[in-house]
Structure 1
Amino acid sequence: MSEQKNDQRAITRRQWLSQIPIPAIAAMSVGAIGVRELHAEVAGPANDLGARVYNIRDYGAKGDGSTLDTAAVQAAIDACTHDGGGTVLVPAGTFVIGTVELKSYVTLHIAASGKLLGSADGKQYHAVDAIPLSGDTTLNDGNWALLFAVNAKNVTLEGPGTIDGQGFQFHAPVRGTPPPSGLGGNKRPYHLLTYRCEGLSVRNIDLLDCAYHSLRIIQCKRVHMDGIYIHNRVNGNNDGFHFISSQYVTVTNCTVLSQDDACALFGSCKFVTITNSVFSTRWSVFRFGGGSPENIAISNCVLYEVYGCPIKFQGNPGSRYENISFSNLILKDVTGPIHISIGPRPGKPTVPGGPAVPSINYEPSTGAAPGDVTPVTLRNISFSNIHGTVTTNPPQLAESKVTSTANPGERYSCITLNCVGDSTMENISFDNIHLTFGGGGTAEDGARRDLPQVAGEYFALGPMPAYGFYARNLRGLTLQNIRLQVAAPDLRPAFILDHVQDVAILGLSVEGNTSAESVLRFIDSKDVLLTAPRLLASAATFLQVEGAANEHIVLDGGDFSKAQRSLVLKDHAADSAVRIRD
């Protein structure tokens, strides 16, 4: 009888394991390889393909902060993708690696106490030859990376752990000398470089101290960035996000503290949303350069200590920009703050110290082909609910290991819409914009009329002649509920229209100065309706209209009683050009 009971109790290991949940098996005191073998006995050889976990320590990774673990990490990724995908686990520890390729259907998961540490030895990196450096000129910033993926599908990089690029080891201590790593210039590795991938996600991860751009995403589709913290201030060109001709992109819940462009959108990026994020940088946050970007919405972001223009369009021949909106933005201590400049770029001065001249030798990174003279088109761009402060004294960026000096044009900047050459800029709107500028502009700055007929960086035109808003050579401009103030006296006009047509302004509130020439200046502009303006401080002249080409300017109501003169006509401006209605 007892023998029969023993037979009934005797079960195979497979039967016994089949009654135990897989998590319980994983918790047993057996090696990870043993767990995988036992799991296979239970589930069969193919039942869990695509869902397995590949611990890099099982492939020989040490994680001691000194041993090179590149081969082990790559072996785990290769095994994972070979089995149909799954999760490659970076557990607790510091794993030193060089260049590693991510592949289709792989999730690289870095545990909370896990870290991938980029090697300080440049010999551990190599170029990604599958990514071209010619043809599309927006690609020519190099093809070296810590992690890369090419033509891959459904790739995920996730935390909550950390990737540290040790980027300062790629910074030359003295210009002209090699950096400690031996790699500099465009051979510096990115944190992550992807090319023509579809279904790319990066989430809940810390990306620190990259040698170059942190995330460089080229010609990819269905890209999702969520909950990323980027701290990138140890080298020149330390971008945060750098998207090139990518589509269906979402960025949300991210914090980017960078040295260079925090969120560049180069080439023909389309169907992009960026929201609920915080940015700070020495240069631009939302930087557009070249290509045909369109259908982009940016909202609910805080931009602080941006000493290089939070929103910047740098359009060169061959570019087209359409249907882009910016809304609900807080700006704190920025320069710029909005700069749209399209047309020929400035060339070198003809004489040392002289003004820049138009040139068709365009910066390759902006996407313009050498010799291309196709006019730029920019239309349907909107800005709404933007509040904040603009500084005239940008300091060195906090926590940065590299320094830079502010140009005069950076200190005395304003909202600038600059269209030159044969380019077209139309249908631009501003709604509910409240900005306080640092002030300090001189009467000499305010007297500037003939700005160089060039586009380019936002400081390329030099100190701007207005402290708040300057627009040149565009049509279809709408402004509503705009308040422009200064923190210190400024002898420049608050607002200038220069050869602008079809303008509607409702509820413009501006500060003046009795020593400034005027508060508003219109130069050869047409079809302008200025409704209910309000002068916030005493001034000599409210509106000065200059040039014989001014036509159909209507000043409708408002309160500019604090001005000694409501209107002054100069340079052959006709009395019939302006009509004042009470």
Structure 2
Amino acid sequence: MDQLSRRQWLGRVSVPALTVAGASLISAKIPQAESRTDVYNIRDFGAKGDGKVLDTNAIQNAINTCSDNKGGVVMIPAGVFLSGTLELKSNVTLHLSTEAKLLGSPKREDYTAGKGIPEGNGNIVFLYAVNAERLSIEGKGTIDGNGLAFYTGKGDNTGPGQNGVNGNFDRPHLLIFYQCTNLRMDDVFMAASAYHCVRLLKCKHAYIDGVRIYNRVNKNNDGFHFNSCQYVHLINSDVQCQDDACALFGSNKFVTVTNCSFSTRWSIFRFGGGESQNIAITNCLIYDTYGCAIKISAGAAGIQNFSFSNIVMENVTGPIGIGFSGVNSNKNAENNQLAGKPYLRNISFNNIRANVVALPVPHPDIHFDLHTWEGEKNSCITLNAMGEYYIEDISFTDVHIKYAGGGTAEQAEKRDVPNIAAEYFGVWDKTPGGPPAYGLYARNVKGLSLHNVRFEFEKNDLRPAVVFDNVQDVSINGLSLQGSLDAPSLLRITNSKDILLTGVRVLTPCKVLLSLEGTGNEFVNIDGGELRKAKQQVVYLNGANEKSVKVRL
């Protein structure tokens, strides 16, 4: 079929039409140095666009012809184009016009697995590409997975302790890109996947700008998945989904997320395994999010150099959970290949504002019920390593968090926390009553810094604000804490050493400033601050003695 040159195509479109629907085609996204950019309108290949006739073959023929002719633009014009699985290819720009919708078929037989995509947790897919280069998806149109048609009430059972047994994997993801390079996604609205929305697997140099995802019709409706990718940049995008909004699994490196907003039932930024390094997340809004907004759960991993900055969280649980066991329970996982001793280090949190609710709140636009784990209730920041492994070099600077409060005396009295470091709430599910702190719980941490950090609560909370258990090398300056006369102490430190607290402010009256517990405490120093609202400075329990602590008012 004859194709039009860019000059010929522009000549056939009126100026008003260009202004409304085609302006992006004459933007900087099309290299100006090229003498021509061929445009392949799928209607010219037989696509009907009535939302009833299956247009798979016509669209695929347009893509194939474009690729065979060394690339160009495959135009999805106004209309509803029903389709099954489509393979995108190198040098192809898939452009969706403003009133265009690429609609997934409601029939399972119209989909296939992506050729060459590892099976993983399902490789049935709507749009995919394998080993493609210079591939783009752009425009103001919509890619709709028709995912409600695949709802069975059953998820993939990959949650805590489920291991995918009897899970529902036979349903299409919206987009999968495997080992692709120089990938772009701009402006497109992606909706209603039957499974995950966008999966990038071992891709390099991916640029995602202005994409909107609304994915809340089926279970496991994730937003973005980046698996072992490098040089990925997500900006100016909005994600509302049901499961992980931006999961980074495996060995991701050189990833940035900037100027985005997120909401989901389960976590936003979820990390796990591999050698994940050099990741910066900044200027993001997180709202109506449960299952912990920022969650790192690692076994035999090599994780370092993460930066989270300028983040506002409204109505969340968690809000930050880091778990590190050093041991990988999945014997077949990629992160089992880590050379040397596992590590999790160099993580910074700067300029964070959060409002933490008492427990998850159902989203009114999710039509099925979701289980609430006991460990999600009365949550706190959790830094939890175990055994011989430590979380190292963690800093919180200019952090202000208001918690719902309501913690009980039973929670406050918990000392024996199980050696579990999986999902952030998993450890608290195994600890009757939940977290023993309302602000920060840290176990097996070395090199912890808190500067200008403020923890408050709305409802009276009987738990300490901060609990340290086997924590070393701590620098705290300008820590402001709301206290309670009904709580046993404001701070609890157990078997920890080399801790310096300066400029601590007790915001409201409390019974005891510090409960020092255990025989392993050394060099705990409280130097100045506003401590007059504490009725008693220090109590010593379980073998702790006065020689290990020094208080100077």
TM-score (normalizing by structure 2) = 0.90
- Tell me, yes or no, if structure 1 residue 362 matches structure 2 residue 342: no
> Is residue 261 of structure 2 the alignment partner of residue 290 of structure 1?
no
Q: Distance in 1 between matches of 2:39 and 2:155?
A: 46
Q: 3-state SS of the aligned residue for 2:187?
A: strand
- Measure the CA separation in 1 of the matches of 2:358 and 2:11: 63
* Aligned amino acid, residue 335 of structure 1: T
Q: Judge which range, 394-403 or 549-558, deviates more.
A: 394-403
Structure 1 residue corresponding to 2:437, chosen from 460, 466, 469: 466
- Which residue does 1:59 correspond to in 2? 45
1:307: which partner in 2?
A: 290
Query: How do residues 323-338 of structure 1 correspond to structure 2 at under 5 angstroms?
Result: 323-338=305-320
User: CA–CA distance in 2 between the matches of 1:492 and 1:468?
Assistant: 9
Q: Structure 2 regions of 5+ residues with no counterpart?
A: 15-32, 157-166, 429-433
- Identical counterparts, % of pairs: 46
Match 1:104 to one of 90, 109, 120: 90
Aligned equivalent of 2:55: 69
- Could you tell me which residue of structure 1 aligns to residue 359 of structure 2? 393
Instruction: State how far apart, in whole Å, the 1-side matches of 2:334 and 2:267 are.
Output: 17
Residues 48, 544 of structure 1: CA spacing in aligned structure 2 closer, same or farther, 3 A cutoff?
closer
| 1:267-286 to 2 correspondences below 5 Å | 267-286=250-269
Unaligned runs of 5+ in 1: 1-17, 29-46, 134-139, 177-183, 346-359
Cα pair 1:233 1:402 within 8 Å, conserved: no
1:403 positional shift = 2.0
Distance between the aligned counterparts of 2:8 and 2:81, measured in 1?
28
What residue in structure 2 maps to residue 26 of structure 1?
A: 12
Q: Is the 8 A contact 2:56 2:82 kept in 1?
A: yes
Partner in structure 1 of residue 389 of structure 2 = 423
Question: Match of 2:60, SS?
Answer: helix
SS at match of 1:513: coil
Q: Does 1:339 align with 2:286?
A: no
State how 1:181-580 maps to structure 2 within 5 Å.
185-317=168-300, 319-343=301-325, 361-362=329-330, 367-369=334-336, 375-462=341-428, 463-580=434-551
- CA offset at residue 49 of structure 1? 8.2
Structure label with greater radius of gyration = 1
Q: What is the CA–CA distance in structure 2 between the aligned matches of 1:174 and 1:406, rounded to whole Å? A: 17
- How far 1:376 moved relative to its partner? 3.0
> Distance between the aligned counterparts of 1:563 and 1:146, measured in 2?
61
1:152 and 2:132 matched? yes
> What is the identity, as a one-letter code, of the residue corresponding to 2:393?
N
- In the alignment, residue 539 of structure 1 is paired with which amino acid? C
Report the Cα distance in structure 1 between the residues aligned to 2:77 and 2:125, rounded to whole angstroms.
22
Matched, 1:132 2:118: yes
Query: Are residue 117 (structure 1) and residue 100 (structure 2) matched?
Result: no
Q: Which amino acid aligns with 1:64?
A: D
Residue 459 of structure 2 aligns to a residue whose secondary structure is coil
Kindly indicate whether the alpha-carbon contact (under 8 Å) linking 1:127 and 1:187 is maintained by their aligned counterparts in 2.
no
CA distance in 2, matches of 1:260, 1:569: 44
* Corresponding residue SS for 2:323: strand
Asked if the contact 1:375–1:423 (Cα under 8 Å) also holds between the matched residues in 2, the reply is no
| C-alpha spacing 1:505/1:145, structure 2 compared with 1 (3 Å) | same
Deviations 1:328-377 (A, max 9, x none): 000000000000001068xxxxxxxxxxxxxx64397x75549x997531
Displacement of 1:27 in angstroms is 4.1
Paired AA for residue 565 in structure 1: Q
Separation of aligned partners in 1, 2:490 and 2:249: 37
Task: Determine the C-alpha separation between the residues in 2 that align with 1:48 and 1:520.
Answer: 65
CA distance in 1, matches of 2:153, 2:323: 34
Q: Between Structure 1 and Structure 2, how many residues are aligned?
A: 518
**Match of residue 71 from structure 2:** 85
Contact 1:50 1:83 in 2 (8 A): no
Distance 2:7 2:88 in 1: 31
Match of 1:142 in 2: 122
**How many angstroms apart in 2 are the aligned matches of 1:199 and 1:361?**
34
C-alpha separation in 2, matches of 1:449 and 1:483 = 24
Whether contact under 8 Å (1:90, 1:111) holds in the other structure is yes
Structure 1 vs Structure 2 CA RMSD: 2.3
Q: Would the aligned equivalents of 2:248 and 2:271 in 1 still touch at CA under 8 Å?
A: yes
Deviation by residue 1:454-486 (Cα, 9 ceiling, x = unmatched)? 111111122110000010011100110000000
Counterpart of 1:94? 80
Instruction: Name the SS for the 2:427 alignment partner.
Output: coil
How far apart are 1:580 and its partner, in Å?
1.1
- Pair 146,521 (structure 1): closer, same or farther in 2 beyond 3 Å: same
Q: Quote how far apart the aligned CAs of 1:397 are.
A: 1.7
Q: 1:170 is aligned with what amino acid?
A: F
1:363 and 1:205 mapped to 2: Cα distance? 38
Moved >4 Å (runs of 4+): 47-50, 173-176, 366-370, 372-375
How far is 1:308 from its partner? 1.1
1:421: how far off?
2.7
